[in-house]
Every structure is written in structure tokens, then in C-alpha cells.
Structure 1
């Protein structure tokens, strides 16, 4: 009976999509393992610190490429509005990404005036070119997710990972240092264009058009700010650690994230990517919507919680063996960061729930509050060392998940609120 019940829980369209994403993530992790081990053994903590600066800035700017807020609008849109919204999003993306290119180059040029290390100025300028590639594939990728073509998305992810990590490992072994990261990111980006255009037939209009921009930006602005705040929470501790404890401490801290939550968060993403389109498809049926949400959340918990606990328990064994003894001091930080993924499951799911019922403003308010508390608490403990910072990350994650469980679920899934949100959306249209 227990086996049959488990089979029933782990079945359905949602899990098929998760299956494709999970398969891709397993393949990605196997591919990345070699380059991760090579980086850990050939990069010093200071090299890791410079890599953290590059990845942090790149990750922060990617929020503005419209995959988040505008992407959610494309997934949620009615079929009759889809083409106009996609064309508007495409041209908006060119405006935004062109601006990002200019801003990152300006930051790179000004960086030496605020930091003693000027080694990353040219790498950051070169990486800014990747923003001019995003508009050529992002809409195609979002449409694949909207249509639940996660098999195609999974194939794209695996091929990109194979190309990027093969280039990284090769360049590192050739002794290129931090430039190995830069060239791998830059040379692998155009592969997205080839793959996404192969899997989806959509093509933008040749005529510049912002026909539906008030509707698109009206929906996406709250989500964009929310995504921006999420990136701030994900990266501000790196900046604070680097500022107050130095580049070497930042390298140790960044390794702990990369070796801890980097693995589990990528697995969590395989569940969350299909969740939003899965529940949005039932947004006109309250009972089905609620059932899909809780069943999906249960499946995520069954798979991910034991996995996170296992990884945390085994960290003292696998870190020195796989990555080298130099990273042993980072093990307590790695364990704390890894455990913070568990409450993060419910915070992320609650945010998607609010977006699905058009309560993006509430999601934004929650994000603003949690980000403010997070920054203040990190600043309060950073002088005590990176273990205290990691413990603070875990405590903040627990607080955020408490809000998600005890307030967001009650508000967003109350039938009266749900029906009123649907009526509001229909009246706007």
C-alpha cells in the first residue's frame, strides 16, 4: 500500500516535466563535477573571490533581461494576446539589454577607483557582450516553458552545460586563471540561440513594436523588482563578506555556497520551473488550482528534504576527498547554507503562488521586508566571521518560510480572494 501511494504521489504531468528537468540537472551535475573539482584544486581562495565578484554582478544584471517578470506574463497570457505580448517583450528586451551592456562596462571602468584590484575590469567589459545575445533566445525559451515542452528545455540545459563546462575545464588546465570563466561564458552563450530556435518556431516581427507595453510592464514591474530583491538577498552577503573580511574570506564563503546550496538549489529549480506553468494552467478552477499546488509542493518535499539532509550529513566526508583539504574550514559554512535550502522551498513556492493569483504586489512587499531584515542582520554579525554569516542566512530563511506557510497560504488560497483575483484579471482584459 505504501509503495502504491508513493507511486501515486510521484506521477502526473507535473512530475513528467520535473523528470525531464531532473534528468537534465543530474547530467549537468555530472558534467560540472569535473570542472568544479578542477577549479577547487587549481584556484586559490583569492581566485574564488574574484570569480564570486564576476558571477555576482552577472547574476544581478540577468534579472533585467526580462526572463523573470515579463516571462511570467508570457506564461500566464491568454492565447489570443500571446503573439502581441511576445513581440513587445522581445523589443523591450533589446532596449533593456543594450542598457545593461553600457552600465556594466561603465561599472567595470569605474571599479578600480573603488577597489585596489583592477584585474576584473576587462573581463567584466567582455562579459557585457552576453547581454546582447539574450534577446535572441529568451522569448523562445519562455514559450517552451509555457507549452510545457520541458524535454526541449532539458536538452538545451544539458548541451549548454556540456559546452560551458568543457570550455571552463580546458581553459583552466591551460592556465588561463579567471579568464577561463569569462571565455567559457562568452563562447557558450550563442549556443542558446541555435538550440531554442530549433525547438520553437516563434519569430519576432521585423517592425519595432511596443503595442502592449503598459500591460506587459504593469504585470512585470512588481515581479521584476521582486526578482531584483531576490538577487540582492542571494548576493549581498558576498559583497558584505568581501568588504569587511577580504577577498580570501569571500573565496572560502563562495566555495561553501557553490559546494553546498549550489547543488541543492539547482535540483530545487528543476521542481520550481515547471510548478508555475503547472498551476497557472488551472487558474480558472479553484479546486484544481489548490490541488495542483499542494500536490506539487508535497512532491518537492518528499524528494528534496531527505537529499539536503543527506548532503549536509556527508559534507565532512566528501569535501576534503573531492575538493581538497584546503576547503575543510568551509565545511561548517557549507552545512548551514545547505540546510537553508529546506525552508527556502516553501518561500519560493509561496512567491509563485502569489504571482499565479495576480498578487504580485503582496509578493513584492514580502520580498522588500525580508531583504531589509536580511541585510541588517548580515551587517550585524559579519565581523564575527563567515560561520556567523551562514547561520544568519539559515535563520532568515526559516523566518521567510514561516511567513509563507502561515500567512501566504491562508491569504492566497482563500476561495474569496482567489475568485476576486480572477475576476479582476478578466475585467482588465
Structure 2
């Protein structure tokens, strides 16, 4: 009985897709471990603080590349509409990414006028060029995910991880400082284009078109704002910690997130990425839709929660051994960061559920409220230290997860009424 149940749990398209992504993520993490250890030992907390600022700025800008919102529309669209939506999405991405390139270049150029530190000017200017690569592979990657061909996605991730880690480790050992994380961003962009074009036959339209752009942006607009709010919650604490506690303390805080949430978040992403196309595939069948959603969530919880608890409990042992004793003060923060990923499983899945039933406005309202509360809470507690900032992160994820039962009831009620 136990063996039969285990076989059932590990079977099916969703788990196969998760298997490909998990295999890629395991390989990814093993490959990146060497470069992560090298950075932890070669970088000072000051360097980690600068790295946090660069990644934070890039993370905000990448929201507007339309991968999330327009990509979700491509996955959710009916088959007869896919070609039109892809063609329009391609040109929308060029308009958006070209604007992002110009804006970030201006930010990099004007930064010295507002700060005496010019360390970030050239790196930000260099990273801006990566936005010009997005339109050339984002649509291909989304179509691959729509078709549940996550073997191709996994291949992309592994190849990028290998190349990026080699470049990072090499440049860090050569003493190139913050440029050890900049050059991988630039040099791996063409690899995304080559691999995604190989795995999907779709080709960009030669004729400029924005057909049905209102419909596309109407669907993706709420998702884009929602994604932006999510990025604010994920990154605003870095900016507040850096401003009030200094770059060195920010380095400790960012290390805790990078070593803690970086691992568990990547595993969570492995499960959440295949979930949306998996449930959208049967959105017109209430019974299958419900079974796929809750079945996938049970399997995800059974696998992910023990991993998160294990990492959190072992962090006092592996952090000083692997990364060095200078990072011991970051361990309490790392534990809270790990634990915050448990409620995120359910809130993230519920948002995908709302997207699948075309109710993105609800997730936007919830996110708007909690983002405001999150920012106010961090500002009030930041002077007490980074442990309390991490506690706010954990509490905010628990609060968001409290809405999950209501969201599930609402979304499945909508699907049932459409039968």
C-alpha cells in the first residue's frame, strides 16, 4: 500500500516536470556552490553589500521586461490566440526593454551627482545591456513552458549555471571584485537566445504589430504591478538596512538571504514554475483542475517542508565550515529566512490559482495592502537590528498565507459556476 501510494505521488506530468526542474536545480546548486563559497571567502561584507544593491536595482527593472505578466497571458491563452499574442508580446518587449536600457543608463550616469561613491556607475551601465537580449528569448522560453516541455527549460538552466559559475569563480579568484558578478550576466545572455531558439520553432514577426495589445496589457497589467509589489517586498529591506545600518551590515543580511533563501527559494521555484501551465491546461474541467491543484500542492509540501526544516536546523553547522566563520553572526537571520519559505508555498500557489481563473485584481489588492504594512514594519524595527528585519519577513509571509483558504474557496467557486 505504501509503495503504491508513493508511486502515485511521484507519477504524472506535474511531477515529471518538477523532476526535470529539480534535477536542473540540483545540478545548478552543485555547480554554483563552488563559486558561492569562493565569493563568500573572497568578498568582504562590504562587497556583499554592493552586490546586494546591484541585484536589487536589476531585480526591480526586470519586473518590466513583461516576462511575468505577458508570459502568463501566453500560457493562459486559448490555442487559436497564441500566435497573435506572441507576435504582439515580442514587440511590446522591445518597447519596454529598450526603455529600461535607457533609464538604467541614465540612473548610472546621474548616480555620482547624488552620491560620492562611484563604484556602482560602470557596473549598472554594463548590466543595462542585458535588457536588450530579453526580447530575443523570453517568448520562446514562455512557449516552451506553455507546452510543459520543462526538460528544455532545465537544460537552459544547467548550461547557464555552468558557464556563469565558471566565469564568476574565475574573475573572483583574479581579484576583479564586483565585476565577478557583472560579466556572467553579460556573457550568458547570448546562450539563452541560442538554446531557446533551438528548442522552439517560433520566430519573431518581421512586421511590427500591436494587435490586441489592450487585451494583453489588461490581463498582464495587474500581474505586472503585483510582481512589482512582490519585488518591493523581496528587496526593500536591503535598501532600508543599507541606509540605516550601513553597507557592511547589509552585506551580512544579504549573505543570510543568499545562503538561506537562495537555496530554499530556488527549490520552491522549481515546484511553482510547472504548476501554472499544469493547471491552466485543464482550466475548463473543474474536477481535473481541482485534483491537479491540490494534488500538486500536497506533493510539493511533502517534499519541500522537510528540506526547509533540515536546512534551517543544520545552518549553525554548515555555515562556518563552508562559508567561513566571519558569517556566523548571520546564522539567526538565515534560519528565519529559511522558515519564511514554508508559508510562501501556499501563498504563491494561491496566486497562481487566481491567475488561472483570471482574477489577478484580487491578488493585487492583497499584495498592495501587505506591501505597505511590510515597509512600515521594517522602517519601525530596522534600528533594532537585522534579526528583527528578518522576523518581519517571516511574519509577513505567515500573514499572506492566512488568506489562502479564502482564496482557494473563492477561485474554485468561480470555476464551478462556469461549468
TM-score (norm 2): 0.99
Tell me the residue number matched to 2:241.
241
- The answer on 1:169 being equivalent to 2:191 is no
Q: What is the rounded CA distance, in whole Å, between the counterparts of 2:177 and 2:129 in structure 1?
A: 20
Q: Once the 2 structures are TM-superposed, how far is the Cα of residue 118 of structure 1 from its aligned partner?
A: 1.4
Give the match for residue 76 of structure 1: 76
Q: Residue deviations 1:192-239, cap 9 Å, x none? A: 000000000100110111012011111110111111111111100001
Q: Cα deviations across residues 379-404 of structure 1 (Å, max 9, x unaligned)? A: 11000000110111111111111112
Structure 1 residues 226-258: Cα deviation after superposition (integer angstroms, max 9, x where no partner): 111111111000011001001001100000000
Instruction: Confirm whether residue 407 of structure 1 aligns to residue 406 of structure 2.
Output: yes
Secondary structure at 1:238 match in 2: helix
The residue that corresponds to 1:426 in the other structure is none
Shift of 1:419: 4.4
Q: Which residue of 2 aligns with 1:227?
A: 227
Within 5 Å, which residues of 2 pair with 1:143-222? 143-222=143-222
Query: Post-superposition shift, 1:110?
Result: 2.1
Distance in 2 of aligned mates of 1:354 and 1:84: 24
Range that drifts further, 103-112 or 213-222? 103-112
The answer to whether residue 312 in structure 2 is matched with residue 312 in structure 1 is: yes
Between the aligned partners of 2:109 and 2:253, the Cα distance in structure 1 is 26
- Quote the residue 2:57 is aligned against: 57
SS of the equivalent of 1:358 reads coil
Q: Deviations over 1:268-295 (max 9, x none)?
A: 1110000000000110011111111000
- Equivalent residue for 1:362? 362
The alpha carbon displacement at 1:116 in A equals 3.4
Counterparts of 1:300 and 1:100, CA distance in 2: 36
1:28-427 correspondence runs (5 A) = 28-404=28-404, 406-414=405-413, 417-420=414-417
Give secondary structure in 1 for the equivalent of 2:403: helix
Distance 2:206 2:416 in 1: 39
What is the aligned length?
419
C-alpha distance in 1, partners of 2:27/2:118? 36
1:427 match: none
Structure 2 runs not aligned, ≥5 long: none
Question: Post-superposition shift, 1:7?
Answer: 2.1
Q: Deviations for 1:330-355, whole angstroms, at most 9, x for unmatched residues?
A: 00000001100000111100000000
Q: 1: CA distance between counterparts of 2:174 and 2:100?
A: 31
> Displacement, 1:367?
1.0
3-state SS, counterpart of residue 168 of structure 2: helix
The range that moved more, 19-28 or 207-216, is 207-216
Give distance in 1, aligned partners of 2:268 and 2:278.
16
What is the rounded CA distance, in whole Å, between the counterparts of 2:77 and 2:416 in structure 1?
18
Q: CA deviation at 1:115?
A: 3.0
